[in-house]
Amino acid sequence: MTAARSIRAFVLTAPGEYEVQDVPAPVTAPGEVVVDVERAGVCGTDAEFFSGAMAYLHQGHAAYPLRLGHEWAGRVAGVGDGVDPAWIGRRVMGDTMLGCGDCRRCRRGYQHVCDKRQEVGIRGGRPGALAEQLAVPVGSLHVLPDAVDAELGALVEPGGNALRAAEGTGAGPGDRVLVLGPGTIGLLVAMFVRAAGAEVHLMGRTVDSLAFARGLGFQHVWAEEAVPELPFDAVVDASNDARLPDRARELVEPAGRLVYIGLAGEPSRVDTRTLVLKDVTSVGVLSASPGLTATVRAYAEGLVDPRPLVAATVGLEEVGRVLAGTRPPHAGPGPKILVDPHR
């Protein structure tokens, strides 16, 4: 009798507690594929699960033990019943949001806000990509062209979020946009806004983060107390600071646009009277789903290059320390850590 095959995976067993475990290899279920994961990203959502602060833990949408990882790229290794075998060998990344497919929202193309959705590595018990292999529905896949390698592929998911936020500003040539929070998402938003031809300003807290943003070619980089009194046609909050959504409301120009993509650990308060009196449009961005195809294309064409954001690539054994806030030795200045599960 052949023993069941196993793979290595990072497993979060409780807040601050983790193991790299041998777990059963995923099976090729009907309608799904199994992917050999080449790169996966570690993000702020993973850190919230690590700390125990993630809202889904308290809402019943997620529970320990958890298999994290929703930013990934890899190669299809096997297909289930009903899936074209031609998928085998293709280089892909996948949508995080997996809707039920039957509800009104899914039928209208909004599967990313389906009440019954699973989220890869986040919600509904769907194992994530901090593992050697991953099983996902074939319909969630996006093929990666040759110009988008595994490193870029793992940055498509955060890039899709950022692209949607940039599009939410409605900005183009002649417009001025302020981005609050120069982390991975904020910098990607700034890159997409710059590519659209708008003037980009960034506001951050630390000397290092501001210096890094300048190194990416952004000339207008400010500490909060130094933000100039300029008309900002759009303001994007990409921070986790509960104060900044209302600060964005103060800073935006009348008839401008506010985009909220950051999430704080506590409720944010916004004085909506000013939204009305300024005639401001406010946009919330949850998911990369509607922006993934365009992000792959932008990376392939070189419209946006997120590679400088990657500080280091580590193995599964180092993920716990990264989530705890320890920078890998010899990491570069960028905000993003990637994982090679086979290292």
Q: How confident is the model at residue 264 (pLDDT cuts 50, 70, 90)?
A: confident
**Does the domain at residues 6-155+306-339 carry the CATH identifier 3.90.180.10?**
yes
Q: How confident is the model at residue 281 (pLDDT cuts 50, 70, 90)?
A: very high
User: CATH number of the domain at 162-284, out of 1.10.3720.10, 3.40.50.720, 3.40.50.300, 1.20.950.20?
Assistant: 3.40.50.720
pLDDT at 158: 98
Let me know: does 291 contact 267? Beta carbons within 8 Å.
Answer: no
Name the token pair of 189: 């938003």
More confident residue, 3 or 328: 328
pLDDT at 266: 85
pLDDT at 4: 64
What is the percentage of the chain residues whose pLDDT exceeds 90?
Answer: 97
DSSP state of 3: P
| Interstrand relation of 32-42 and 220-223 (parallel, antiparallel or unpaired) | unpaired
Residues near 305 by Cβ (< 8 Å), separated by ≥ 6?
191, 299
The residue behind tokens 């890899």 is 74
DSSP states along 225-245: GG-----EEEEEE-S--TTHH
All CATH 3.90.180.10 domain ranges in the chain, comma separated: 6-155+306-339
Count CB-CB contacts under 10 A for residue 206.
10
Burial class (CB in 10 A: 0-12, 13-18, 19+), 243: middle
Whole-number Å distance between alpha carbons of 125 and 118? 7
Return mean pLDDT, the chain. Answer: 96
Whole-number Å distance between alpha carbons of 210 and 221? 6
Nearest to 51 by CA among 242, 293, 240: 240
Read off the pLDDT of each residue in 179-191 and give the average, rounded to a whole number: 97
In a 13 Å sphere around the CA of 60, the CA atoms on its Cβ side amount to 2
pTM of this structure: 0.95
Give Cα 37 distance to the centre of its chain. Answer: 17
Residue 223 predicted with pLDDT over 70: yes
pLDDT at 235: 98
Residue 1 predicted with pLDDT over 50: no
Whole-number Å distance between alpha carbons of 288 and 158? 7
Name the token pair of 97: 């949001």
Count CB-CB contacts under 10 A for residue 273.
9
Whole-number Å distance between alpha carbons of 228 and 201? 10
Read off the pLDDT of each residue in 279-283 and give the average, rounded to a whole number: 97
Nearest to 193 by CA among 158, 163, 223: 163
37-80: pLDDT as tens digits: 999 999 999 999 999 999 999 999 999 999 999 999 999 999 99
All CATH 3.40.50.720 domain ranges in the chain, comma separated: 162-284
Burial class (CB in 10 A: 0-12, 13-18, 19+), 287: buried
